[in-house]
Structure 1
C-alpha cells in the first residue's frame, strides 16, 4: 500500500540508506545500525538472507538478535506506522527500500514497542547485534591510545559508536559547530594523513539523522584539505550532505564523551597479532537470603555473593613492557525477562577483584577473608545500568572476582564474562 514495487534491499545495505524518523528518539539504535552495515556476515546473521517481497511472499520477515546471553528469533509482519502514507519512524532515502524500517520494527518488538525504544546507549544494540565483546571508554578519562585502538578495531571488523553529553537545554540542541548534544553517532572509520609535513589522525563519524555535520577543522568544506595529497583527498573527502564527516582525534575527544567498541573477539585489544584472548561466561544469580550480599561495605553479608576464581600466569611481552598492559576484561550484565524495555528496573551493580594468598584453597571464602581487605581492582562505582565492564592489568597470581548489587537482598540473574590474554587460565 505504501509503494507499488517494494524491495527489502536495493543495491546492498549501506549506512547511507536511511534517516532517523522525527517521532522516535532512538538514535542509539540507528547509530548501531550504521555500524552494522559494514559487516555483511553480521548483517546476514541479524537479517537472514533469502527474504524478499518477491515469489512466495507471505507478509512476514525474520530477524535474529542476541539478548541476555542467547540468540532469539523474531518474526514480524509488514505493517509499518505511517501518516498520510509516509513512514513516521526510520525511512529509506530510496522510497521502495524497506530493510531499515523492518529491522527497526523487529527490534521494537524485542523491546516491547516502538515507545520502549525511546532513549538508550549504543552499546545495548551493538551487543544485541553481535553477542560480542564490549569495551567502553570515557574519552577524557583514559590513558589508552584510543586512536590506535580504534584503528585496530576497524581492521578487526569491530562495530563502534559514540555519544555526546547532554547540555543545559532540553532536547537535542545543535551547537554552532554542528554537533548535536545528547545524541548518538556511529564511528565509521579512522585515517592517518600528512598535512604540511605533520601527521594528522582523523576519525570519521556518522549522524544517524542522515544530515547535520561537524563544520570545524577537517569537515567537508574545511580549507585544511588543500594541504594534503590528492590521494588522501580522494580517499577521504566528500561533499555529500549525508551526515558523515571527518574530524581530528583531538576534536573528537573534545566534542564526544565516550566510545563503545563491540567485536566478536577481543584480540583487537593487542598492539600486535602475536597474542590472542580467550573468553568464558558464567551464568549465576543474586538470591534474597542466600547469595544477594550487597556491596563490600556490607561486611556481614558481602561474602555470600557468588565468587569466581581466576589464575593469571606469567605476563606476556606486551604486558611486561607496558606497550599494551591490560590482560583481563571483565563484564557484568544483568539478565531481565520483562518484555517491555522501559519497565526494566536495573539494580546498581559492580564487581570487586581480590588477590588470593597462595596458601588459601577455600572453595567459598568466608566473611573474615574480606575484613580490612581492599580489592586490587573494582568498578569505579556501582552503576544502575544493564552492563558494567572494566579492562585492566593483573600481575601473575590467583584472584577472586565478586559481582554484587549495591544493596543486600536485591534479586537478579546475571552473566559474568571474563576475557583474558593468552597465558592466563580461569577456573570457577
Structure 2
C-alpha cells in the first residue's frame, strides 16, 4: 500500500495563537524584530546579556582544563571568515561537523532535519544574513512543551586558537549550524548542558511531532518496510550504537563508533546478483569515521548492482555517510527512532490521524495521587475522558490510539533536570460509572485496560488498540505528593474526543 501522509489537526492551538508556529512565544521576553530595529538605528552589534559570551554560557566541557578555558575567545563569523554567509546554496548535513562538545545526539538530529525542507525553514528562518541589515543578531524557533518559542542570540561564537570550540562550518564560510547550536545551548542553559542526550529529544524540539522508538535486536520483522514508509512521510530518523560495554573490538574494526548517535538519511532496496538487499544509509555527525564492512564505500559488493543504483548510491568520500545492509544494521546498532507528524507510517495506513493536547499538573496534596496501589489517593490524579469513535475498516488489534505523556520542567540548566517516574493507566469506563472523575469506589474493582511501566524520563509514548467506546486516561507519578506540570497528547486514527474529566 502506498503511504499517504497528511498533516495532523492540532487542537492545541489555532494558527496565530500565542505559541503557534506563526506567533511563537518570545524566549526570555526578547523580541527579535524590536531588538534588531534598535540596533540598526543605533549602528551597533548585538551582545546578548541573557546569554553572554563568557565561561558561564560555555559551561563545563569534558577535556577543557582551566588553562584551555582561559584561551577561549568569542568571535563573530566575520572574524573567522570575511566572506561569512548564513546559508550557501541551501542547507545540507554536510554543511557542518561536530566539535569538542559531546552533543552528537543534537547534531545527528540536525542532519535528519535538513531533509524536512518546510520544517527546516520554520526552525531556521531563512531570511537572515551577514550582509543585508546585519546587526549581529539571529533567531531560531523550537517547540517547547506544546508551544513554539523564538530564541534570540548574538553571533559571538566560542573559539580557541581561531578554531570553533563546538560545531564548525565544513566550508569555513557557512554559519547557520553553529548559530543554531548556540540558540539551542541558550535553551539548555549552556553549551556544556547539551552534552549527552538522545535524538528523540531534539526531534521533538524541532517539530512537536510524535516519535516511535525501536530496540533493533527486538524490532518488528518488517522494520525496513516501516522505515521505507516513514521516509515517504518526510520523517526525521536517527539511530545509536552500543556503548563501550558492548562495543567489542570487532565493532571498532568495522568503523562503528561506540556510544554514538547517527542520522538515518535514506533506505534503498537493490538487486545484487538476483537477490534483493535492503540497505540503510547512515551519517556520522563527526563528518568522518565510517562503516567499513559489507556495502561500505569501498565494498566490492557495489559491482554486483546495476549501474543506475551504483551511480545513485555510491559516493566514495570521507564524509561520515555510509550504506549498511539491514541485517548488519540490526546487529551493530542498538536502537532507532522515527519522528513524524503522524504515526501512520507504523502500519502504512493513509487514514487521517488527529492530535489532541491537554496541559495538566500533579499538585502535592491536591492532584498528585501516585500509583494505583493506594486507590484512595490514586483517584485524585488528573483524569481525562477519551471517546474513541468508530473507524471504517478497524478490526481488533489495529493500532488506532497513541498516548504521549511528557513532563514539563522549569529548570534553567538541562543537566540539572530531574524527572519523576511517570506513567499512564487506561480504564474502559464501566456503564454504571458516574459523570466526571471516576472515584476510588469504582476504580478499586475495575481492571485497567493498560498499565504502563513507570520511567524517570521526559516523555513516554505507547501505541494502543482501543475498540470504540469511552475510556479514562490517568497520568500518574510513582509516588504520591510529587508536584510537576505535564503535557498529555493523544493521537487518534479517525475521530476521538479528549477532555478533562472535571469538565465532563
Category of TM-score, reference length = shorter chain: over 0.9
Say whether residues 1:106 and 2:190 are aligned partners: no
- Write the distance in 1 (CA, Å) between the matches of 2:207 and 2:466: 28
Q: Which residue does the alignment assign to 2:164?
A: 87
- The counterpart of 1:320, out of the listed 395, 412, 434, is 395
Displacement of 1:427 in angstroms is: 4.3
RMSD in angstroms over aligned alpha carbons? 2.0
Displacement of 1:372 in angstroms is: 5.2
- Write the distance in 2 (CA, Å) between the matches of 1:84 and 1:385: 39
- Write the distance in 1 (CA, Å) between the matches of 2:250 and 2:260: 9
- The counterpart of 2:352, out of the listed 266, 276, 282, is 276
Displacement of 1:299 in angstroms is: 2.5
Residue deviations 1:56-100 (CA, integer Å, cap 9, x gap) = 210111111111111111111111010111111111110111111
SS of match in other structure, 2:253:
coil
Q: Which residue does the alignment assign to 1:406?
A: 478
SS of match in other structure, 1:300:
helix
> Residues 354 and 495 of structure 2 are in contact (CA less than 8 Å); yes or no, is this contact kept in structure 1?
no
TM-score (norm: length of structure 1): 0.93
Larger-gyration structure (1/2)? 2
Say whether residues 1:258 and 2:335 are aligned partners: yes
Alignment map for 1:13-412 (pairs within 5 Å): 13-21=91-99, 23-143=100-220, 145-168=222-245, 175-273=252-350, 275-317=351-393, 319-320=394-395, 325-371=398-444, 373-379=446-452, 381-412=453-484
Residue deviations 1:84-128 (CA, integer Å, cap 9, x gap) = 111111111101111111111111001100011010111111111
- Write the distance in 2 (CA, Å) between the matches of 1:269 and 1:219: 28
Give the total of aligned pairs. 421
- Write the distance in 2 (CA, Å) between the matches of 1:243 and 1:423: 44
> Residues 94 and 319 of structure 2 are in contact (CA less than 8 Å); yes or no, is this contact kept in structure 1?
yes
Change (3 A) 1:199 1:111: same
Say whether residues 1:5 and 2:83 are aligned partners: yes
- Write the distance in 1 (CA, Å) between the matches of 2:416 and 2:86: 32
- Write the distance in 2 (CA, Å) between the matches of 1:140 and 1:34: 25
- Write the distance in 1 (CA, Å) between the matches of 2:341 and 2:372: 33
SS of match in other structure, 2:157:
coil
Displacement of 1:160 in angstroms is: 1.0
- Write the distance in 1 (CA, Å) between the matches of 2:250 and 2:121: 36
Q: Which runs of 5+ in 2 are unaligned?
A: 1-78
| Greater Cα offset, 115-124 or 189-198 | 189-198
- Write the distance in 2 (CA, Å) between the matches of 1:169 and 1:376: 37
Q: Which runs of 5+ in 1 are unaligned?
A: none
- Write the distance in 2 (CA, Å) between the matches of 1:370 and 1:164: 43
SS of match in other structure, 1:199:
strand
